[in-house]
Structure 1
Amino acid sequence: MKPRPKHLVAALAVAAVLVALVVGDPFADPPARHALQPDNARVLAQGRRIYEAQCVACHGARLEGQPNWRERGPDGRLPAPPHDASGHTWHHPDELLFRLTKFGVAKVANLKGYVSAMPVYEGILSDEEIVAVLSWIKSQWPAEIRARHDEINQQAQQ
C-alpha cells in the first residue's frame, strides 16, 4: 500500500469532523447553549484568563500557533494551529469549535487511534469556560472575519 500524503490525511480528518457535525453527535448539547459571545465583556475577561493559562503555550500570545502547523512532527502529531485570521478556526461553527475543545478531534470525528497534542478539556474546563475562551478568541478576529464566521454559524443552523 502506498503511503498517504500528509495533506490528504489532514483533509480526511477535517472531512470526518464536518460529517460528524452534519450527522449529529449523541453527546453534544443543544447548539444555542454553546453560542460564542464575543461582545460580552465579562465573558471575554474570563476567556482571556483561561486562554493565558491553558492555551497560550501552544497557540501563542497573538493566536499565531506553532510553525509548520499543517505538517505532522516526528511524533505523528500536528503542531498547534493559529487561531488568528490566518488559521482555520473561524471556518468552523461555534458548536463544532466547542465540541472539538471539550471532547477532542478523535471523539468528535470518531477517529480511533487519532493522536493529537491538543488536550481534551472535558472535566478540566466547564462548558461556560470553554465558551468564554472561544469567545475571547473570536473577539480578536478582524470585523470581516467575525462577520464571515457569523454567516458560517447561520448556515450550520439551517
Structure 2
Amino acid sequence: MCRKKAALGVVLVAVISGCSDQTVDGRWYTQAQIERGKTVFDENCASCHGNNAQGSFNWRKKLKDGSYPPPPLNGTGHAWHHPFDMLMSTINQGGAPMGGQMPAFGDKLSKDDQKATIAYFQSKWDTRIYDAWFERSGL
C-alpha cells in the first residue's frame, strides 16, 4: 500500500511540474526521459560504463592507481544503493569523492539531461532492484 501511495505521489509531482508523459510502470520517470537519457548516456557515459551500462570487467578491484573502474549501472552493481541525490551528485562532481576517476559533468549536462541519464540506466533495473532502491531512497 505504501508503494502505491508513493508511486501516486511521483505521478502527481510529474503532472504538477508540467510533465505530460506518464511514468513508466509506476516509476518516477517517463518514456521520454528514458529516450533522452539513452542519447545522453551513449554520448557521455557508454565509453566507460559500457553500451548496456554493464560497467568494466572486475569493477570491484582497485586499479594500480588506487581508483576503481567504472561500475555497472544496469542494476548488477551498487548504484541502486545510492539515493537519487547521490546519483545526481556523482554525475555533477564526478567519481573522485568515492575513489573513482569519473569526470564531473555538472558543467556539461543540464539537470534535465542528468535526470534523463539516471532514468535510462534505472530503466534497465528489474522490478526487485528498483523497488529496493525506491524503498532506500525515500522518494
Question: Same fold by TM-score, threshold 0.5 exceeded?
Answer: yes
Q: Which residue of 2 aligns with 1:95?
A: 85
| TM-score normalised over the length of structure 1 | 0.65
Question: Which segments of structure 1 move beyond 4 Å, counting only runs of 4 or more?
Answer: none
Query: Given that residues 72 and 79 in structure 1 are in contact (C-alpha distance below 8 angstroms), is that contact kept between their aligned partners in structure 2?
Result: yes
Shift, 1:89, TM fit: 0.3
Q: Which residue of 2 aligns with 1:79?
A: 69
Q: Which residue of 1 aligns with 2:54?
A: 64
Opposite residue 123 of structure 2, the aligned amino acid is S
Shift, 1:73, TM fit: 1.4
- Tell me, in whole angstroms, the C-alpha distance in 2 between the residues paired with 1:68 and 1:142: 22
- Match of 1:96, SS state, is helix
Opposite residue 58 of structure 2, the aligned amino acid is N
Identity across matched positions, percent: 28
Q: Which residue of 2 aligns with 1:118?
A: 102
Q: Which runs of 5+ in 1 are unaligned?
A: 1-32
Q: Which has the higher contact order (CA 8 A, sep 6+)?
A: 1
- Tell me, in whole angstroms, the C-alpha distance in 1 between the residues paired with 2:84 and 2:102: 18
Aligned residues: 114
| TM-score normalised over the length of structure 2 | 0.73
Which of residues 37, 46, 49 in structure 1 aligns to 2:36?
A: 46
Q: Which residue of 1 aligns with 2:125?
A: 141
Query: Given that residues 92 and 105 in structure 2 are in contact (C-alpha distance below 8 angstroms), is that contact kept between their aligned partners in structure 1?
Result: yes
- Tell me, in whole angstroms, the C-alpha distance in 1 between the residues paired with 2:94 and 2:29: 26
Q: Which runs of 5+ in 2 are unaligned?
A: 1-16, 18-26
Question: What's the Cα RMSD here?
Answer: 2.1
Query: Given that residues 64 and 81 in structure 1 are in contact (C-alpha distance below 8 angstroms), is that contact kept between their aligned partners in structure 2?
Result: yes
Query: Given that residues 96 and 102 in structure 2 are in contact (C-alpha distance below 8 angstroms), is that contact kept between their aligned partners in structure 1?
Result: no
- Match of 2:130, SS state, is helix
Opposite residue 88 of structure 1, the aligned amino acid is H
